[in-house]
Amino acid sequence: MQCASVITCLFLFSCISQVDVPLRTVAPELVVEGLISTGPPPYTIKLSSSGPYTSTTEAGKDSQYFITDARVTIEDDLGDSTSCDWTGLGNYQSVDSNFIGTVGRTYTLKIYLSNGKKYLSRPETITPVAPIDSLTVGYDSAQTTSISPPPLIVTVNSHDPGAGQHFYRWASSGYVPRKSAGYTCGNNSVDCPDPYSCSCRALCEQFSADNQINILSNQYIEGGEIVLPVYYSPVYWFGTHFVEVNQYSLSLASYQFWEQYLEQTNRTGSILDPLPSSLIGNMYNPADSTEIVLGLFSASAVYTKKVIIVPFFLQQYLLESLAGYYIKRHDCKDVYPGALPDDTNPPGWENAQEIDLH
């Protein structure tokens, strides 16, 4: 038999054999993620069991790995406590609205599973957090962040108080303006054929959470200024951006946990990288010191700052050159998850500072 080419011959005379790679199987481990702060309750504790290597959980849907029948309590060093009730999707929320985190108080998370096992967190004491002096905003016109579409970059400005170790974490979220094709206006409204010509049910504000872990130690800036980008608000369309930045204090143990998390997630994946290890935090089984419990319970002071950002500088030709990639058909609030009804502003920003960008 003659072959048209060497590559053709390789395909004709080679075969592929299926290889079943043995997967490591380990017993499910408890996974905990929880926080109490000086901010208003309720406080959320997330409980699940670790799954096999091949398992996946679709965000926003129930999973067999969520723990649904635990008894969960947060207790302070004065003996006061609040229970936490199951609310779904792995979440338990505190029920006592008068149980609020206080600077100087020490807190312990207690978990009782239906199989009789009990788990505790090592005590976490809330330390003070420096206030946020201001938030500054710029536009990533040079696309230095590699985020698409180019975002507004929100930077926190604060001052470390000095006089010892201080550890910080930032968590931010907001609402960004979105554009859909919408509908023609009137009694017989239909899908808009031109994504730029219709205004009915075509504009909305979509919730956007920052999933990045932003932490900082004052080891090299003790008593100095803190200037750090903490949130990226994507610019999909004209309109107002609503941003909330939370600045948390961290204990040394919590900071080291998140530092280990970042170290593992930021590895390049080369063969010289060390193998990832389980992220063991401050949870443990008092009856079995050898049992591995994953995750973390933190107690933090929090300083919250909200701003309203109005990017007046946006040019029609610039935005429309990008917007077409992100405009979907139909009702704006229906096609973008977490969006508010047509042209409705989110609650809670009534007294927020407005930042105008020209």
DSSP helix/strand/coil, 13: helix
| Burial readout 288-319 (b: 16 or more C-beta within 10 A, e: otherwise) | eeeeebbbbbbbbbbbebbbbbebeeeeeeeb
Q: In one letter, which amino acid is 172?
A: S
- pTM (2 d.p.): 0.87
Instruction: Give the pairing type, strands 151-159 and 225-234.
Output: antiparallel
pLDDT value of position 209: 92
Can you give the pLDDT at residue 277?
Answer: 61
- Residues making up the chain, counted from first to last: 358
User: Tokens representing 34?
Assistant: 């929880």
| Three-class secondary structure of residue 166 per DSSP | coil
Rg (alpha carbons) of the chain, rounded to whole number = 25
Going by C-alpha positions, the residue among 160, 351, 340, 328 that lies closest to residue 239 is 340
Q: Which residues pair with 119 in a beta bridge?
A: 111
Cβ distance 56 to 74 under 8 Å? no
pLDDT at 162: 94
- Torsion over CA of 323, 324, 328 and 330, rounded to 10 degrees? 100
Cβ–Cβ under 8 Å, residues 51 and 66: no
Peptide bond into 22 cis (omega under 30): no
Q: How far apart are CA 212 and CA 235, in angstroms?
A: 18
The position carrying tokens 């199951």 is 86
Per-residue pLDDT of the chain (358 residues; tens, 9 = 90+): 554 444 334 334 445 555 554 555 567 899 999 999 999 999 999 999 986 544 444 444 557 789 999 999 999 999 999 999 999 999 999 999 999 999 999 999 999 999 999 999 999 999 999 999 999 999 998 888 888 888 999 999 999 999 999 999 999 999 999 999 999 888 667 888 888 888 899 999 999 998 889 999 999 999 999 999 999 999 999 999 999 999 999 999 999 999 999 988 876 555 545 545 678 899 999 999 999 999 999 999 999 999 999 999 887 656 767 777 899 999 999 999 999 998 799 999 999 999 999 8
